Amino acid sequence: MAKQYAFYFDANSCIDCKACQVACQDKNDLPGGVIWRKVIEYGGGDWVMQDNVMVPNGIFTYALSTSCMHCQDPICVHVCPSGAMTKREDGIVLVDEDLCLGCRYCEWACPYGAPAYRPELGVMSKCTFCEDLLAAGENPACVDACVTRALDYGELSELQAKYGDLAEMAPLPDAKLTSPSFVLTSYRASQATGSRVGKIIDLAEEF
Amino acid sequence: MEEHSKLENVGRDDEINRRSFLKWSAAVGGTAAIASQLSFGFVPANTNRAAEPGKWVFSACWHNCGGRCANYAQVQDGVVVRQKTDDTHPDSPDYPQQRGCARGRSQRHQVLGVDRLKYPMKRAHWAPGGGDKELRGVDDWVRISWDEALDIIASETRRIIDTYGNKAILTPRLSPSRILNALGGAMQSWGVSSAGAWPQPSALMAGNLNLSAPDRMTYRKANLIVLWGSDPAWSSAGDPTYNYQQARNAGAKFVFVGPLHSNSVQTLADEWIPVRPGTDAALLLGMAYHMIDNDLQDQDFLDTYTLGFDADHMLEGTDPEENLKDYVLGTYDGVPKTPEWASEICGTHPRTIRQFAEEIARTRPTIFIGGAAPARTQNGQQFVQAFLTVGWMTGNVGFDGAAVCNNYHSSASYGGPSLVKPGGSGLESLGNPLFPRGGSGYAFAYPEDTDFYAVAYEEMWDAILNKEFTATVRGKQPCDIRMIWTVTHGSGGNALNQVAGIMKGIEAYRSVEFVVSSDIVLSTRSKYADVVLPDTTPWEDEAGGFLTGNPEVLFFYSQVISPLYEAKDCGYWFERELARRMGLDPDAIYSSTPQQQTFNQLAGASVIKEDGSGYEPLLTITADDIAAMGVEGKPQGGRISLSEFKEKGVYQVERKPGDSFIHTPGVAFRQDPEANPLSTASGKLEIHCQALSDKIAAYGFNTIPPIAQYNPPIEGYQATFEDWDNKVKGEYPFQLVTLHYMRRSHSVFDNITQLRKAFPEGVWMNPADAEPLGISHGDTVQVSSQHGTVIRPVIVTTRTTPGVVILGEGAWFEYDENLGADKAGATNTLCGTHPTGQGEEPWNTTIVRVDTWDGPALEADYTWPQRVPIKE
Amino acid sequence: MNPHEWALVVFTLLAQMAAGAFIVLLITRAAETRRMGKEIDRLGDLLGLAIMAILGIGMLASLLHLGSPLRAYRAVSNFGNSWLSREITFASAFFVFGSLYGLMQWAKWGSSTLRSVLAGIAGLLGVSMVYSMSRIYMIPTEPAWNSYETLVSFFTAAFLLGIFLTGSGLVIRHRVLSSTEDGQQAKRGKLLSDILGAYGIVAVALVGVQFVALPVYLAEIGDAAAAAGSSLQELLTSYGVILLLRLLLIFIGAGVLGAMIYRVSGKHVWESRLASLTIAGFSVVLVSEVLSRFLFYATRVRMGLP
């Protein structure tokens, strides 16, 4: 059994196609408006006038696919009043939908926007790392779905050995906050966490 | 008026209600084994799916999305509970799984959604002759029996044929059903949609070198790959982008040209060169100028393998002054096509134009790929002519890692012949007597014919309203269309939504006497019909069938579920029933069953031999197999067993670098052009192509020069100005580009909630354009053209070129009478009809304005209710 | 702002009002017991129960913010880690002890010492409740809330509302008792006038605290990371008018009216003006604090991913 399950993401491969997001919805039979994995498009740069011609100046875009980070220091577990939010020995953080009150405090607390409210059930829900599939020897649905193979998963220390230990890139928050179990290869023109050079170029309704 | 069920975010309320499904299933004793533990619809999350024993069936993903991928459905108690994609072999760059996209992965919500059409229905205010025709699109729906539906269709069809002739029946953007052909035919439509203006220039200038691209492995050998007006990440679903990433990883430099910093640019590009829509030819001519000015073109190649580049190499009988080089230099028209000249038109900086010209001239091998988007413009021929010309000027033809080619649909990143393919169905053709050489009408190539009766896509609505159409070389001819028929087996064919000029199209729809449609959900073509028939989806077809896409793989889908409610195959079953009512022999319409046709395809399926020397049968078929399918045939030997093939649903030829399936286009021609002439008039690549000029003239809409030139398109960049010389913008200051959007496959899937959530159909606009108008990211805005108005949320981003506004094509037109606008953002509300060239549809030359919207903000698309026409 | 956050506006204001009023009542009793003895008893004998009723309504309102209100009792399960568990625990205990006190005070059960002890415990629980409530919001993912301003805002709200609620309760009781003609009215009136004078000057001081803290807070969030800056931008653009209105109303309600109450009370006799000023003050302060609490929730911008 892994000590800490983690996801890996390669920002140079992702094309914002949302196959991962939809595969997760399908596998977990979620309503169309509830997502456990999201893909965020981030970009910046501007256009400048040169010799009477508008030219692009450092235009960049990249996408980021994230779900729950199954953090090593999960603030959601810390703040949950009912004890519905727990962290397992293998590092997976789960919300027990039978205990959850639907107070949405975890939604306020999570810097990754992972907990998703289910209005039809009155409780919170979130990425389970497909723990049932893992138990059956299969991969998480999102990893198998990715059409450009941008996602991987495994034991955190092994992923770090393979890909490095970077866990931050704009618009991700500072990794020191909750120590996400996550490794990423940053986009070649990416902005550091906290940078205000770019912005999220999706509509709010996508999340 | 029409009711919509309120879509609450309650469980999976957007799927067919379990109780009513059970009731129906029990009543008809359907094959769905009803267990009390049906979890479908009201299941809490975290259900332990992996432990449940549902069976996986290879299910069809049949869409016109630019890809073709593996899609499996897990069936439990007669319903689909989960989907997955290819896992038939370990994944690797050389032998990749055929992974599906968000759309295919949402297929079960399309097949099993609450909005699935269950019963035949007619408009409440319909009567023979049309009844209250003004209510088409807004009327209530009444459920009718199949008997009544068939009787209505039989009698109206008979009446209209007898009164007005077969020419009075229009089948917009569809081949007529076989039964219509048996009854004497129908008025078909023709033209080019996705491929734009590529077909004729490619066929006549390049001949059998055509759109040829190298095979997938060879892309890794290129030093430079140019993708011009192409966005495979969102236009060619499946593996193409992953394949291109392998070329990137192998060291190829990628340059993208286009108005959008797309997701393809994001993952692949070393450089992005912006260009205004419809001005690509000017940019190319500017590059040609730089090359000629600095003697960078591959003159030996041009002299040996092409015609028309300069006065010394012209086809006999043509005017030597008409050569490309003198046009570019401005020898006769006094306008040298310098990069400065080009920049004023195309918006690219002259320095960039020069650098890019240097790069393609000096880099070998280069794969120079032209997309279809720049050819989907008015005067789109000029882009293709210029693109091929400049490509050939670099000489990147006929050797390893080089190509001048097209990047289209599922052939993106895949060139060469199919390595595995199905056999023929054996069904004899039953063509349209009114359009003998037309085929489906797509890329119709015989405008010189004088014996046909068919109308260009861009002229259909005008033909209905004005009672005349352009009959190519015969000029304008009268017509009198009284009926619109969009009955077919399969989704798509949504002409009213997908052809320009929706407002005019609705007027046309409301003027004819009878409109009949089949559909799986109430898409636009059915919403405005009189009678609508519920079609089965390929998931419900007993016989199963083949799907093809990229050349390395063959798919076979099997039946997943029983037909839902009263849905029927609106090809085979419907036409035979209709035949009975109209005095025809059903077997004359379909002489063999779907099972037999599928069997013939299975038996004839072939796969390339390991050494590439020919093909051999794919499948081993036993006598038991034949008996089990209930068909006629002979046992045979092949590479894999039929049952294994059906179970896996995929046969993919395994490839390795250096295998026998390398394809480099034009090698023989390059080695010996005399012995291996191309199929062009001259046998060579025709930069000057009189045949093309004559062919376009024959279509009857406009004329083009035999060489690449830049002539400002209708509704192109120049049309955004009221005073071009002083650069004063006019009423429609922006150019619209219609994007292939990942929410849909064209218009299919628009009704799926989770796809609406993922892809909100925003209109993309540069802040340089938005800020002066007081428009901020997330605002609701109004986009209008001379042809109509839509309302959408806006995404303000610097990733689009200033002056260019971008909106995904295919949203289902949703007109709001109070707002006087389409709320969904159907781009064909904005695009006008412009019959042109070879009948291509010039969507990317459309000028628009954007204004702030004072009305109520739009609700997010994913909260909109489904279209459920018959309440239960 | 979604509906469930309105339930929190109601709950937090009513609960804070109850805690503040309870403390104010306790302090007032302690300060005036020797001087007035039974008189203060008569003035304040129903107040304890009234305050607990308000707390009870607030706690019921808080159920409306839960997706599964029937499971609310589980909210105390993570006392060891979660400020929300602590807040619910303290609120419930405050309600129990406070109601017990209120009942005993009104029915005159038990010795006055016992009642005072219960009151003291309840008071501590009430303060702990407001403190826990503040700490719920002070998490790093909510930069606009993760500031001492939240403590200042919640405690000043508690005491401003508490002062005016208690004051209003007392003046209403005084009016009711005036019809009993027990001959103590003048004495009670003088007592009440002195009490209200103290309340008035404390109200002015509390408004002062709020006005000093605000620019410090705005500078703090203006400086900080993007999400906080967005909160500030939201506050000043979409909600600028509401903020101005809130500031104007608290200045008038607690500042101006509080000062007027103080001045009038300086005469050391009862004037009926004091009643109307107090009740007017309560209304204006309540509206202002509702606006303030609305802004608190409405300008929330969580940092990190959407």
In a domain, A120, yes or no: no
Interface contacts (A, B; CB < 8 Å): 201
- Range of A160's domain? 5-73+129-205
Reported as a single tens digit per residue, the pLDDT across C240-259 is 899 999 999 999 999 999 99
Handedness of CA A72, A77, A78, A83 (dihedral sign): negative
Interface test with B, best of A13, A24, A29 (most B CBs within 10 A): A29
Alpha carbon distances (Å) from B289 to B284, B312, B364: 9, 18, 20
Global pTM reads 0.93
Q: Which residue of B has its CA nearest to A138?
A: B50
**Which of C157, C136, C155 shows the shortest CA–CA distance to C145?**
C136
Helix axes C148-177, C112-137, angle to 10 degrees: 140
Query: What residues contact residue A39 under an 8 Å CB cut-off, 6+ apart?
Result: A14, A16, A17, A18, A20, A21, A63, A64, A65, B758
Alpha helices by DSSP H, listed for B347-492, are 350-362, 380-393, 460-466
The answer to whether A188 faces chain B, any CB pair under 8 Å, is no
Mean pLDDT in chain C?
90
Looking at residues A130-152, what average pLDDT do you find?
Answer: 97
Residues A90-106 have a mean pLDDT of 96
Whose tokens are 């799984």? That residue is B97
Which residue on chain B is closest to A22 by alpha carbon?
Answer: B102
Residue of A nearest to C76 (CA): A81
Asked if the structure places residue A124 within a domain, the reply is no
Residue A148 falls inside a structural domain: yes
C-alpha span between B816 and B822 (Å, rounded): 6
pLDDT tens-place string over residues B385-401: 999 999 999 999 999 99
pLDDT at residue number B36: 25
* A155, pLDDT greater than 90: yes
Query: A192 by DSSP, 3-state: which?
Result: coil
B72: left (phi over 0), alpha (psi -120 to 50) or beta: beta
Could you say which of A78, A121, A123 has the minimum Cβ distance to residue C82?
Answer: A78
In a domain, A67, yes or no: yes
B753: number of Cβ within 10 Å: 25
Tell me which DSSP letter residue C273 carries: H
Query: What pLDDT does residue B51 have?
Result: 41
Question: How high is the pLDDT of residue C270?
Answer: 87
Q: Which of B45, B752, B757 sits opposite A206 (nearest CB)?
A: B757
- B189-203, C41-55, C94-108: which has the minimum mean pLDDT? C41-55
Instruction: Kindly determine whether residue C139 and residue A109, on different chains, have CB atoms separated by under 8 Å.
Output: yes
ipTM of the predicted assembly exceeds 0.90 = yes
Contact C202, C159 (CB under 8 A): yes
Asked if B559 and B93 touch (Cβ cutoff 8 Å), the reply is no
Q: From the list A26, A51, A146, which residue is nearest B83 (CB)?
A: A26
Alpha carbon B438 to its chain centroid, in Å, reads 19
Tokens linked to B13: 């309320």
- What pLDDT does C32 receive? 78
Q: Which of A76-80, A203-207, B820-824, C219-223 has the lowest mean pLDDT?
A: C219-223
Q: Which of B609, B855, B238 lies closest to A146, judged by CA? A: B238
Name the 3-class secondary structure at B760.
coil
For residue B79, give every residue at least 6 positions away whose Cβ sits within 8 Å of its Cβ, in sequence order, or none: B21, B32, B38, B40, B112, B561
Which range in A178-182, B3-7, B60-64, C100-104 is most confidently predicted, on average pLDDT?
A178-182
CATH code, domain carrying A154:
3.30.70.20
pLDDT band, residue C121 (cuts 50/70/90): very high
Task: State which amino acid sits at residue A89.
Answer: E
pLDDT digits (tens, 9 = 90+) for C131-148: 999 999 999 999 999 999
Give the dihedral of Cα atoms B378, B384, B387, B389; nearest 10 deg: -120
- Report the relative pairing of strands B763-765 and A5-10 from DSSP bridges: unpaired
Looking at the domain assignment, is residue A198 inside a domain? yes
Predicted pLDDT at C68: 94
Residue of B98, B367, B106, B405 lying closest to B242 (CA atoms): B98
A 85-144 residues with CB below 8 A of B?
97, 118-121, 125, 128, 132-133, 135-136, 138, 141, 144
Q: B494 with B525: CB under 8 angstroms?
A: yes
Q: Centre a 10 Å sphere on the Cβ of residue A72 and count the other Cβ atoms it contains.
A: 17
pLDDT score recorded for residue C235: 75
* pLDDT for position B26: 46
Interchain pair B350, A63: CB under 8 A: no
How many independent structural domains does chain A possess?
Answer: 1
pLDDT higher than 70, residue C225: no
Chains B and C touch (3+ CB pairs under 8 A): no
**Residue A112 counted as domain residue:** no
Given this model, what pLDDT does residue B7 score? 27
Looking from the CA of B389 toward its CB, the CA atoms found within 13 Å total 35
pLDDT digits (tens, 9 = 90+) for B259-294: 999 999 999 999 999 999 999 999 999 999 999 999
Tell me if A57 is assigned to some domain: yes
Report the SS3 class of residue B57: strand
Contact A101 C75 (CB under 8 A): yes
- Interchain CB distance below 8 Å, B242 and A149: yes
Question: Which residues on A lie below 8 Å from C304 (Cβ)?
Answer: 110-113, 171-173
Mean pLDDT of C79-93: 97
All residue ranges of chain B with pLDDT < 50 are 1-13, 17-20, 22, 25-51
Residue A109 belongs to some domain of the structure: no
| B403-406, strands of its sheet edge to edge | B271-273, B253-257, B224-228, B366-370, B403-406
Q: Which of B50, B91, B267 sits opposite A13 (nearest CB)?
A: B267
The CA–CA distances, whole Å, from A189 to A112, A149, A192, B774, B799 equal: 22, 20, 10, 30, 14
Partners of A43 in the β-ladder? A61, A199
Residue B657 neighbours by CB distance under 10 Å: 12
- Average pLDDT for A40-48: 96
Is A56 in contact with B261 (Cβ distance < 8 A)? yes
pLDDT the model gives residue C226: 66
B489 contacts: CB under 8 Å, gap ≥ 6: B518, B535, B536, B569, B570, B571, B572, B574
Whether omega before A115 lies within 30 degrees of 0, making that bond cis, reads no
List chain B residues with CB under 8 Å of A23. Answer: 85, 102, 105
